[in-house]
Amino acid sequence: KAGVTQTPRYLIKTRGQQVTLSCSPISGHRSVSWYQQTPGQGLQFLFEYFSETQRNKGNFPGRFSGRQFSNSRSEMNVSTLELGDSALYLCASSPGVFSSDTQYFGPGTRLTVL
Amino acid sequence: GESVGLHLPTLSVQEGDNSIINCAYSNSASDYFIWYKQESGKGPQFIIDIRSNMDKRQGQRVTVLLNKTVKHLSLQIAATQPGDSAVYFCAENALGGGYNKLIFGAGTRLAVHP
């Protein structure tokens, strides 16, 4: 079974721009969660989607948004980029049925904001 | 490769020794705990998990111990190998915290010396 894939792997943007990141979950998984990883704040939960609905949300500003498609692929968008948005953005997929379902992570998208 | 954390606590061990990585969690309502391993340039990789109704679980060369009284989790790696060198994160999922909202610890860097 193929793992979680994320595209692009690396991205460089400038302040004020917007960016869209993509995540394809493991086949059959209906839940996709997004996390931001920085050296200073560690791994922080952004949001989770299940069957095209946002089911859970972390404490990030409204500039961070996401969506999920009928094939369970998910995208996250960050508008009006700030320098502090530079981070590794990780998505994780799981079956999403039970809260104890294991989450499997993709390799991440490294976003650099200049 | 990308830096996961610049100032993480580091555990240095000799190849063949046993390693113990500790983690304190904060939410007494957490009912599911996971250990992830993250190598440079990669996303977190699932190692082992444990539910709150257990106090010990064993995998291949790894054991997780849960002490709910003091809210402490530990990961034991037997016969540590150079390939075990990575950053290790504990994560918790709180009952009532919503599906797939993992709260991650700061991480511990494990350095295995030949």
Mean pLDDT of chain B: 89
pLDDT digits (tens, 9 = 90+) for B25-65: 988 888 899 999 999 989 999 999 999 999 999 999 999 99
Handedness of CA A110, A48, B84, B6 (dihedral sign): positive
Structure tokens at B71: 């809210």
Q: How far apart are CA B76 and CA A89, in angstroms?
A: 29
pLDDT digits (tens, 9 = 90+) for A14-57: 999 999 999 999 999 999 999 999 988 899 999 999 999 998 89
Residues 10-49 of A with CB under 8 A from B: 31, 33, 35, 37, 39, 42-45, 48
Q: What is the dihedral of CA A87, A6, B110, A48, to 10 degrees?
A: 80
3-class DSSP state of A83: helix
Taking CB atoms and an 8 Å limit, are B100 and A92 in contact across chains? yes
Q: Which helix (H) or strand (E) holds B24?
A: strand B19-24
For B91, the closest chain A residue by CA position comes to A43
